[in-house]
């Protein structure tokens, strides 16, 4: 962001942008219009500290997708500071950088509702609330808070006044709630569609889709993994070797299921469940040289889903597994024998 922006209303919009999709663009344009922002800094993260790395483009390729995908928006500046810093990307560091040039009244950090719901677990979130206002975007089908009691617990003590679309904080900052219309899409869904060869016309702009095709990004993992039945046994052995509880695998090739194989296991705590999922991702990377195409639920650890395309791994905190009883959905599948530890 240019050094002379102190008299402008500036938004910060961060994320992995893996890939940049129409939901991101909808958020940027809607928030700019609703709040009358003069400029928005789009800040790609080097690594989200709350998520495991996933298979995808290099940092430079993600930057190039942003350049071609946002070229028509003259109010957008692509900010490379988090990628240049490297390591886990923390929003507080980026907000501090912008706060050196933009007054707190005029600085807005734009987040999704899913991120806002765990905002009080972010590093130095109290400092962010001193230096910048929050803008919380809700996708279709997601409910915005009705009262202060529905805010993240750590934020409730800072509420000075609350109404349905705005919260005044005792830090002098505020929280604006913006409901996005028409576009309901996630990056993980787009990656799955690309890897399976399904259409993405509604989810990607033409320049971004063309860049992805020419670079050969988001191809299927099967060529690198090979035999998915052996791969399932490998992942099951990793889970057994890490003391997972009741590890089971199913061959779903003859069933109506979203994957050919599935693994299910339990951890004795949410932290254990997180650790099990991290172990699978790490040891698969060591052995096969691939990362998952998506990972969901690592932040909470109640139900972590690690998606390798034809294999989906479900790791639960054990009592949550008993509640969902996923095994009942896979009765048509054939059990797969698993080793007691990772195959050598």
Q: What is the mean pLDDT of residues 303-320?
A: 93
14 lies in the same domain as 103: yes
Sheet architecture: strand order including 245-251: 294-296, 303-307, 311-317, 261-267, 245-251, 334-335
**Residue 141 resides in a domain:** yes
Structural domain boundaries enclosing 128? 5-179
Which of left, alpha, beta for 219 (phi over 0: left; psi -120 to 50: alpha)? beta
Note the helical H segments in the chain: 22-35, 59-69, 81-85, 91-99, 113-116, 125-131, 153-156, 187-196, 206-215, 222-225, 228-241, 270-288, 318-324
Terminal C-alpha separation, the chain: 51
Q: Is residue 192 part of a domain?
A: no
Domain assignment present for residue 204? The answer is no
pLDDT at residue 5, rounded to an integer = 53
Q: Do 137 and 230 fall within a single domain?
A: no
Asked if pLDDT for residue 253 goes beyond 70, the answer is yes
CA distance 130 to 171: 5
∠ CA 293-191-306, nearest 5°, is 25
Same domain, 116 and 228: no
Q: What is the pLDDT of residue 2?
A: 45
* Residues 115, 128: Cα–Cα separation, whole Å: 14
For the chain, how many structural domains are there in total? Answer: 2
219 pLDDT exceeds 50? yes
- Domain contains 61: yes
How would residue 178 be classed by pLDDT, with cut points 50, 70 and 90? very high
Q: Residue 132: which CATH number?
A: 3.40.50.620
Same domain, 37 and 117: yes
Boundary of a domain, candidates 163, 179, 195: 179
Q: What is the percent of the chain where pLDDT is above 70?
A: 97
Instruction: Check if the beta carbon of residue 304 is closer than 8 Å to that of residue 273.
Output: yes
- Beta-strand relationship, 261-267 and 245-251: antiparallel
Within 10 Å of residue 123's Cβ, how many Cβ atoms? Answer: 12
- 157 and 257 in a single domain? The answer is no
Structural domain contains residue 208: no
**Do 160 and 24 share a structural domain?**
yes
Residue at 97 is within a domain: yes
How far CA 317 is from CA of 118, 240, 268, in Å, comes to 19, 15, 6
- With contact defined as beta carbons under 8 Å apart, do 130 and 173 qualify? yes
Residue ending a domain, choose from 120, 148, 179? 179
User: From edge to edge, which strands make up the β-sheet containing 159-163?
Assistant: 76-78, 39-44, 10-15, 107-112, 133-138, 174-179, 166-169, 159-163
Q: Is the dihedral of CA 145, 147, 149, 152 positive or negative?
A: positive
**Separation CA 212–CA 237 (nearest Å):** 35
Q: Tell whether 252 and 171 lie within a shared domain.
A: no
Shared domain for 164 and 22, answered yes or no, is yes
Q: Do 174 and 233 share a structural domain?
A: no
Last residue of a domain, one of 152, 179, 206: 179
Confidence of residue 338 (pLDDT cuts 50, 70, 90): very high
pTM of the predicted structure, to 2 decimals: 0.85
Whether 227 and 174 share a structural domain:
no
CA distances 63 to 43, 80, 286, 300, Å, are 9, 8, 27, 29
Q: Are residues 31 and 83 in the same domain?
A: yes
Query: Pick the residue with more confidence: 14 or 195?
Result: 14
What proportion of the chain, given as a percentage, has pLDDT over 90? 75
Q: Identify whether 207 is part of a domain.
A: no
Residues 168 and 37 in one domain: yes
Instruction: Give ∠ CA 103-106-109 in degrees, rounded to 5.
Output: 105
Flag whether 342 is in a domain: no
CATH number at residue 296: 3.30.460.10
Rounded to an integer, the average pLDDT of 64-93 is 96
């Amino acid at each position: 962001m240019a050094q002379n922006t102190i008299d402008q209303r500036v938004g910060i919009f961060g994320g992995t942008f893996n890939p940049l999709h129409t939901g991101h663009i909808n958020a940027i344009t809607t928030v700019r219009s609703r709040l009358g922002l003069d400029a928005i800094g789009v800040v790609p993260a080097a690594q989200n500290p709350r998520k495991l790395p996933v298979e995808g483009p290099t940092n430079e390729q993600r930057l190039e997708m942003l350049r071609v995908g946002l070229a028509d928006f003259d109010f957008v500046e692509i900010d490379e500071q988090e990628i240049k810093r490297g390591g886990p990307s923390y929003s507080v560091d980026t907000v501090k950088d912008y706060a050196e040039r933009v007054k707190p009244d005029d600085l807005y950090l734009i987040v999704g509702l899913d991120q806002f719901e765990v905002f009080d677990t972010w590093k130095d979130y109290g400092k962010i609330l001193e230096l910048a206002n929050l803008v919380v975007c809700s996708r279709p089908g997601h409910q915005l808070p009705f009262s202060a009691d529905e805010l993240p617990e750590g934020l409730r003590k800072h509420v000075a006044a609350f109404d349905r679309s705005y919260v005044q904080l005792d830090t002098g900052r505020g929280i604006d709630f913006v409901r996005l219309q028409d576009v309901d899409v996630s990056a993980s869904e787009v990656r799955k569609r690309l890897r399976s060869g399904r259409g993405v016309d509604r989810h990607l702009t033409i320049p971004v889709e063309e860049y992805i095709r020419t670079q050969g990004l988001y191809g299927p993992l099967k060529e690198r993994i090979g035999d998915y039945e052996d791969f399932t046994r490998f992942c099951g052995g990793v889970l057994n070797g890490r003391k997972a509880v009741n590890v089971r695998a199913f061959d779903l090739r003859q069933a109506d299921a979203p994957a050919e194989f599935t693994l299910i296991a339990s951890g004795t705590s949410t932290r254990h469940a997180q650790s099990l999922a991290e172990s699978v991702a790490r040891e698969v990377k060591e052995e096969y040289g691939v990362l998952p195409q998506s990972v969901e639920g690592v932040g909470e650890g109640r139900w972590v889903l690690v998606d390798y395309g034809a294999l989906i791994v479900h790791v639960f905190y054990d009592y949550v597994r008993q509640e969902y009883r996923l095994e009942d959905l896979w009765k048509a599948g054939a059990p797969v024998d698993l080793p007691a530890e990772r195959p050598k």
